[in-house]
A and B are shown apart, each in its own frame.
Chain A
Amino acid sequence: MPLLINRAVVDDSWLLVDEDNLTAHINEDIVVPYELFAQHLEQLVNAEGKLGVRINGDQALELLLQHLDALSLVAIEFPAFTDGRGFSFARMLRRAGFAGQIRAEGDVTRDRLDHMQRCGFDAFAIPDERYSDAILSAFDEVPVHYQGSADDERPIFRQ
């Protein structure tokens, strides 16, 4: 699954762990599912490696917002391309000052990349069958923005 960061395909240096292998990798750079994060909160925020959490729209962003200092990555899952909750999650993370990676996962395809980027996503895990190099032209197809966005908060009337 190609991972797009800064409009280039990069290797994913993060390890996704589950309940079974959490202890073995706890001091590495890992991404844990939200449930594990909630369960092992203390242990995880004090571990040595960098920490990422994978969250979806049914889960409470509030918990992540309370521990942003301990997080280097938030992976937001899109169970379907029609599920727009992740856009708001990214926006709320950025406005809270989160400077780590916000990664879009799940049903992530070309025609939503630009909106995702504007809401604060900077990494996109794209399913193999939906990836082609042409996808890079999905960004900035519409160069004028009426609304502010994560990288420029000014709406059109303050630009």
Chain B
Amino acid sequence: MDKILRIDMGAEGGPKAKETGLDAYSGLGGRALTSSIVAGEVPPLCHPLGAENKLVISPGLLSGTGAAMSGRISIGCKSPLTGGIKESNSGGQAAQVLARLGYAAIVLEGKPPGDSLYKVFINKDGVKIEAAASLRMLPNYDLIDKMKEQYGDKIACISIGPAGEMKLSAASIACTDPELRPTRHAGRGGVGAVMGAKGVKVIVLDDTGLKARPPKDLEKFRAANKIFVAGLSSHPVTGQALPAYGTNVLTNIVNEAGAYPAYNFKDGQFPGASKISGETFAELETQRGGNPTHHCHRGCVIRCSGIFNDKNGKFLTKQPEYETVWAHGAHCGIDDPDAIAMLDFLDDNYGVDTIDMGVAIGLAMQAGVAKFGDAEAAINLVKEVGKGTPLGRILGSGAAITGRVFGVENVPVVKGQALPAYDPRAVQGIGVTYATSPMGGDHTAGYSIATNILKSGGYVDPLKPEGQVELSRNLQIATAAIDSTGMCLFIAFAVLDQPETFQALIDLLNSFYGLELNAGSVTDLGKKVLTVEREFNKKAGFTKEHDRLPRYFYTEPVAPHNITFMVKDEEMDKLFDW
């Protein structure tokens, strides 16, 4: 993983690939690398769909090694959704395979003339870029079937669906899972639109003949991995709850906490929550011959993914994630698991972010385009995206655009990106993360739910403003670092609670690279990443006034706690002072 593959999509005579060393980017991976390249090479004022933007795809520092949980990939660019820097993170097989192929990053640069469309194939023998007009507007599942026919089933794919080709600002980039299904997505920020603008439909990766990356100190690496895996397996969240129920185990608890936004953030609890909870989904999946316990990439020991079969026992989609279930469920007043699973499939197939897509549908419902709770209407609205109708293009451009087009006042977005499944009034810490993250409205960037609601890594009262800025700051720093390692963020539940598991993570990095990092180095890396991202955003025109929630969260209380967001602006403005 000591080289960068740069493909100039706008080169004369067709796309040209060249390999470079890491040079100034040496020692970086994942989000640290994508954000450094974007901040260092992309003019902050460029148009996100223009030739000056770059799409950077980077496995983490430990991806492609024998380290458990190391299969996360970072995809960065200037976001067409937020107008700021973006790192969108995905599971699936791509990170491991790309890392074994030796690439710390693929950088798509320039822009082809007209509407040319290409596919990129990379294996141990090199890189092939071919015109791919026959793949135009194929949904992800059909596309991957074609790739399997052509390249066999030992591949991993990174692809866009019709939404990406149409350059819709909620378009995602799909990564295939171990069964070669396009179920894992870099969903947020419209990264799929940037891939579409580069004219790349799919990147096919084949690591046949290549081995796991060798650590500098194999013995120490193996020992650290053993402790790391034991820590994940013995922790009740990563060893029991996540494998048994997946991320959607949160529906009941967030609803119980009064922080589960229903009917476009009108209420903090949804009457149909138990019908769409993780418990219900897991039971359905087991009954129908699916599986609630599945790994999204090889080497995952948490296995929070799952397989959802339809009523006839036929595969429909992966187990929809908590945020998806919320966005298409409670937010739209829908309590039918089968409808939500269908929406999840359609989103994956067309290639759109389930959060921005679901929130956009809810806003359309608010505006009277359909009624809250009408699952059939929701499905038809998402199908409009696949068809590329004007209505579909509006919805597929995300919540902010949809809200504006339909004249909705209460639009839950920050920096243009839809807020996910936690009401910031009932969980004040997550409100701070939504407001201040350089990524825009995002929960993973500083997941205060862990501490505010789940009592993981301590406890800060979710209903009070005190302590939330510090909590969000520490989590944003830790997350930026973890996102650079290729590790799944869910290791944090065990790492926050168990010092020996945290140490094992550091030992994995040290024994692999021959480094002497400590906890302080991890914090420094996180701060460095955030600083680079903030600087890019500043140059792109963001000010402290952009680090705020939509006004109504400050003025309209939400039941059952009947409170507003109370963290002071001045306090939030100090979050990145270090």
A and B held together in a complex: no
Partner-B contacts on A (CB < 8 A): none
